[in-house]
């Protein structure tokens, strides 16, 4: 069976045992080679689960990163990834929410 490049959008969430901890979310754009979308989705979830972690930060607080959800999986817009290519497209209606959502747009440093 031939595989194709798929793009998965993976949402990770941090949590802590600290009472004043503010959760942080991480969106990963992942390239998966798979024969179909269902296989790509399963592979993206498995990859994300393997990246889950728990550690102590500088303050001695336990921080955990866990898979929140696989947001989307779709075949790459261009299949030939040996050259410049369009990978993924999504649409939205509320730019103000997008700007609040993305710390880079608002100038926040992580």
The answer to whether 30 and 22 are in contact (CB under 8 A) is no
- Report the pLDDT value the prediction gives residue 1, as an integer from 0 to 100: 77
The answer to whether 30 and 7 are in contact (CB under 8 A) is yes
pLDDT in tens, 57-76: 999 999 999 999 999 999 99
Say if residue 27's pLDDT is above 90: yes
3-state SS assignment for residue 87: coil
Say if residue 32's pLDDT is above 70: yes
Q: How many helices and strands, by DSSP H and E, does the chain display?
A: 2, 4
More confident residue, 85 or 50: 50
**What average pLDDT does this structure show over 29-54?**
98
- Report the pLDDT value the prediction gives residue 110, as an integer from 0 to 100: 63
Question: The pTM is what?
Answer: 0.85
What is the overall mean pLDDT for the chain? Answer: 92
């Amino acid at each position: 069976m031939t595989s194709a490049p798929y793009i998965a959008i993976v949402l990770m969430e941090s949590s802590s045992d600290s009472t004043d901890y503010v959760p942080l979310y991480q969106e990963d754009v992942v390239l998966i080679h798979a024969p179909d979308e269902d296989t790509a989705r399963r592979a993206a979830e498995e990859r994300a689960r393997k990246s889950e972690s728990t550690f102590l930060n500088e303050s001695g607080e336990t921080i955990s990163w866990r898979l929140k959800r696989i947001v989307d999986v779709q075949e790459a817009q261009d299949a030939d990834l040996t050259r410049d290519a369009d990978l993924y497209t999504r649409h939205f209606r509320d730019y103000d929410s997008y700007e609040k959502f993305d710390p880079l747009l608002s100038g926040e440093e992580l």
